[in-house]
Structures are given as C-alpha cells and as structure tokens.
A and B are shown apart, each in its own frame.
Chain A
Amino acid sequence: MPNAMVALATTTLGSTASSVTFGSIPATYRDLRVIVNCAVTAEGNIQLQVNNDTGNNYGQLRFSGYAGSSINSTATTTTSVVTNVATGMQTSSRGLNIYDIFDYAQTDKQKVILCKGYHSDELDVISARWANTSAITSVKVLAGSNFTVGTTISLYGIVS
C-alpha cells in the first residue's frame, strides 16, 4: 500500500522571515500535519492561521507547563492558534510545534486543530477550533518576531 503520509512541501529558511505560508493546498488529503522546528529572533508567540483569516475565530483550550510552576489549563478565543505564550524560542533555544489539522477539506464541520508545542521553557498541548466550515486551502505560520535562518517548516498530507 502507498504511504499514507505525504510530504507536500518543506522549507529551511536561508534568511529570516516573519511568516511562512503554504497556499493552494490541494483537497486531496484527509488531514494535514504541520511541523515547525524553529528559533525566533525575539521572544514572542508562534501562531498559526488558516485561509488568511485574521478574525477572532480561533477557539482554543490548552495545557501549559512551565519550569517551576504547576500545569494550568486556559480557554481563549483569539485571532490565531497560539503556542508558547509568554515565553520565546530565541536563537539559543529551539522549539518544536506539531499541528494536526483534521478533515481540513470537509465542508460539513468546523475544523479542529491539535497542537503540541515544546521548547526548553514551556510545554503546550492545545485543542483548537477554527469556527468555519470552509475547506482550508492555506496555512500560515507566524513568528512573534522573525524565524531565524535554519528554521524548518514542513507540510504533510494524510490520506484516508
């Protein structure tokens, strides 16, 4: 049988960039996975938006763990899926975010995005909802500042 997870695109930055967008994503797959292995030039949050939607349409529930404090859970509605709140992944401390976007091309349901975010100061686990039933055709990953040279961002499609 063919491999069910297909690498659609990947980029390793040769220069700093404030965001990376994967556009015109084909509707061929069932789920998407985005892997962000990054560092940033200044403290900030890593964010994910779909279909260039900058509205207040992303509900999210999270666990966050910080060094020296107990785990907490928060619920917010924001303009993006936000990870690494209040701390950053600066050049000496890389971070890894993995986003699973379920049924991205299905128009009978809102879209759920599960995310795990790791770096040396913080652990985030997020369940997010994009309050829209439209098919997702683009995914944008934003640095609170800029992604450094060497940051790698990959997009995968998962068949069903």
Chain B
Amino acid sequence: MIGSLWFNSFSAGGGGAAGDYELIATSFGTGSSGSVTFSSIPAGYKHLQLRFTAIATAGNPYMGIRLNGDSGTNYAYHYLMGTGSSVLSNGATGQTSAINLGFIAGINTSIPTAGIADIQDAFQTTKNKTVRTLNGNTGELVLSSGVWINTVAVTSVNAFLQSGSFTTSSRFSLYGLKG
C-alpha cells in the first residue's frame, strides 16, 4: 500500500526513566553578558554534551568554549566551514581567548546559531580532552574538533563570545552521558 502515515500518539511529557543521557543544567543569556559558565559539574559521567541556540546582541562574533577557566595557551582546533559558496578549512594551536576549543560560527543578531559540542571522556585523567562540534546558521556551517592540552577532569565549561552579549533568547543546556 502506498500512502502517507500520520502519528499523533506520544509518550507522556517530561523526562523518562533514569537513563544514560541526563540533563545537568540549562542556562540562558542575560542580554548583558557574553559568557555562560557551568561549574561544579558532577563527575558521574563519561562524556559531556553542550546543546545551544545562541543569538548575539551585536555583530557576528565567534563563540568559544573554555574548560576549567583555563585561559592559557593550551588549546588547539581545526575546522571545516561552509559558507554556501565555498568551503574553508583551517586550524590553530596555542589558542587562549580567541576561539579556544572548537570553532563555532559567527552568531547572528536575529537568526540563532544552533550547535552541539561533545566533550569526550571529560573526566578521564589519563588523556587530554577532545571536543567536536557541529554548529551553524544560514550563513555558516561548521564542523570542528579541538583539544585542551590537560588531563585533569573537566569541572567547568564556559561558552563565550569574542565580543558583545548573548540575548535573553540564547539557551545553553549541558548533558552528561554515562558509559
């Protein structure tokens, strides 16, 4: 039989049973700050995931991610960016406060940039920390990977703009994945 199928029946709202993908916290932009930090992250997970929709109050600043408040030259990243007409690839080492970990597209003032950043093995103390991101709006689409040259457990995640502030419509949610 050929046709269309329609479904209207769903599970009950809210979270389900205890599981392996848990919400740690959600934070919103204030309109007056270009920085959002999740601190005192519990260590009962294997990986972390940051999901966000970000809008800037001005310009098209890039967004960075910083771990444990480290502003030293301990980050490197590489990215693949599509602009709709060209594909760019670049990277940098020894990064501090520019685009520290992963390269996140310029944040438009009216159209959200949405993204997912996965912080792998965030609590393992035998390896440096790798982050991969997929993020974009309709002006830029970015795949990136970054590394924080430090083996300590991640205890805080900071998302920040190069300039300007996150609007109050900006949303950041941090999740923990068990493993």
Contacts and interface: CB of A to CB of B under 8 A. Distances in A.
A1 B23 contact: yes
Interface size class of B (residues with CB under 8 A): 35 or more
Contacts of B134: 114, 116, 125
Interface string A127-139: 1110000000000
Contact of B16 (A3, A62, A71, A106): A3
Nearest to A26: B13
A2 B16 contact: yes
Given A3-B17, A6-B15, A20-B7, A31 B51 contact: yes
Contact of A114 (B8, B84, B114): B114
B4 A160 contact: no
Interface residues of A, number: 59
Contacts, number: 183
A114 B23 contact: no
Nearest to A30: B173
Contact of A2 (B7, B18, B115): B18
A159 B84 contact: no
Nearest to B170: A109
29 contacts: A1-B18, A2-B17, A2-B19, A3-B18, A3-B22, A5-B19, A8-B11, A9-B7, A15-B1, A17-B2, A18-B3, A19-B5, A20-B6, A25-B10, A26-B10, A28-B14, A30-B171, A63-B80, A74-B85, A75-B84, A102-B51, A110-B111, A114-B135, A114-B136, A125-B141, A127-B137, A127-B141, A129-B137, A160-B173
